């Protein structure tokens, strides 16, 4: 739960700083009104982000074979998927009392696209991470200074085809002489 007194003090500090250096005498009523708006904004900021992987993984288009369920760790996080799959994550930004807030969220992943790619939804409340190659990537959703993270591990997929390569024909060895 945010400390309301700290939020009010910070709102007043920001309002005073904004009016410092402006020409003329600052109007106390305007400063207090602006301070109240800043403190309300600070109090209403998300208190935590709940990051949730989808309970299943989708097969990426154009890959053979059936989709397999997302494998998650004991705490329901840390997804493991094959290099032909993608997984969706959702986030619920909530204030300290559990009420949802509508802030702008930013999704990132640590592999720079080498392990997974990130495709956030239009509203920013979810993101699809598609596997690129085996490896690990830490995914992060951020709202200002508040963030939620998880680890995605991509493993090689199942065998999709077999290619036979013939060698060069050679003579069979001569049979061993009979004793």
**117-149 residue pLDDT tens:** 999 999 888 999 999 999 999 998 888 777 788
52: which residues sit within 8 A by CB, 6+ positions away?
A: 76, 89, 90, 91, 92
CATH of 48-155, one of 3.90.1150.10, 1.20.1260.10, 3.90.650.10, 2.60.40.1080: 2.60.40.1080
Give CA–CA dist 8/35, Å, rounded. Answer: 7
- pLDDT for 91: 84
Torsion-angle region of residue 23: left (phi > 0), alpha (psi -120 to 50) or beta?
Answer: beta
Residue 105 is given by DSSP the state -
Residue ranges for the chain with pLDDT beneath 50: 70
Please report, for the chain, the start and end positions of each structural domain, with discontinuous segments joined by +: 4-44, 48-155
- pLDDT for 36: 82
Looking at every residue in the chain, the average pLDDT score rounds to 78
- pLDDT for 50: 67
- pLDDT for 85: 87
60 in Cβ contact with 131 (< 8 Å) = yes
């Amino acid at each position: 739960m945010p400390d309301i007194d700290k939020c009010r003090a910070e709102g007043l500090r920001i309002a005073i700083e904004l009016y410092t250096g402006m020409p003329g005498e600052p109007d106390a009523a305007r400063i207090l009104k602006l301070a109240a708006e800043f403190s309300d904004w600070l109090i209403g900021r998300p208190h935590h982000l709940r990051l949730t992987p989808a309970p299943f993984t989708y097969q990426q288009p154009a890959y053979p074979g059936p989709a397999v369920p997302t494998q998650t760790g004991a705490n329901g996080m840390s997804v493991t998927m094959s290099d032909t799959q993608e997984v969706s994550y959702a986030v619920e930004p909530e204030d300290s009392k559990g009420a949802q807030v509508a802030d702008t969220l930013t999704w990132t992943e640590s592999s720079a696209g080498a392990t997974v790619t990130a495709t956030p939804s239009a509203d920013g409340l979810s993101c699809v991470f598609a596997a690129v190659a085996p490896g690990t990537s830490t995914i992060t959703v951020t709202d200002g200074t508040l963030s939620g993270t998880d680890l995605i591990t991509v493993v090689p997929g199942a065998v999709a085809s077999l290619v036979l390569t013939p060698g060069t024909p050679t003579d069979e060895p001569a049979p061993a002489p009979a004793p």
